[in-house]
Amino acid sequence: MVGVDLAFLRSLERPLILWLLSHGPRHGYDILKELHRLTGLGVKPSLVYPFLHRLEGEGFIASIWIRNGGRRLKLYRLTERGEALLERVRMLLLPLRELLTSLLG
């Protein structure tokens, strides 16, 4: 049963990444930490970074390099196209809201 539980939570990681970026720019490690906080799961960088690169390549997010205490960080932010994608994802998930509310009782 644990595998099914894990698979369900893993299916939420990508929409959560979009949602996190909708609240402002974030760097990859910050996204990893926040996903862990929200889901309780250790999210693998091998899922997050390729997804960020794909989103960037398709114009859904943009990035800039910044310096923070001598370290270089790549900050990601949603573009208008990314905001539209998040809205489409929300519309896909909206019918599940009532079902999940009932399920969680």
Distance CA 95, CA 66 (A): 39
Token pair in block for residue 99: 């079902």
| pLDDT 10s digits, 59-105 | 999 999 999 889 999 999 999 999 999 999 999 888 888 887 887 77
Q: What does pTM read for this prediction?
A: 0.83
| CATH numbers and ranges of domains, the chain | 2-104 (1.10.10.10)
In sequence order, what DSSP letters do the residues of the chain get, joined into one string?
-HHHHHHHHHTTHHHHHHHHHHTS-EEHHHHHHHHHHHHSS---HHHHHHHHHHHHHTTSEEEEEEEETTEEEEEEEE-HHHHHHHHHHHHHHHHHHHHHHHHH-
The CA-based angle 103-37-57, given to 5 degrees, is: 95
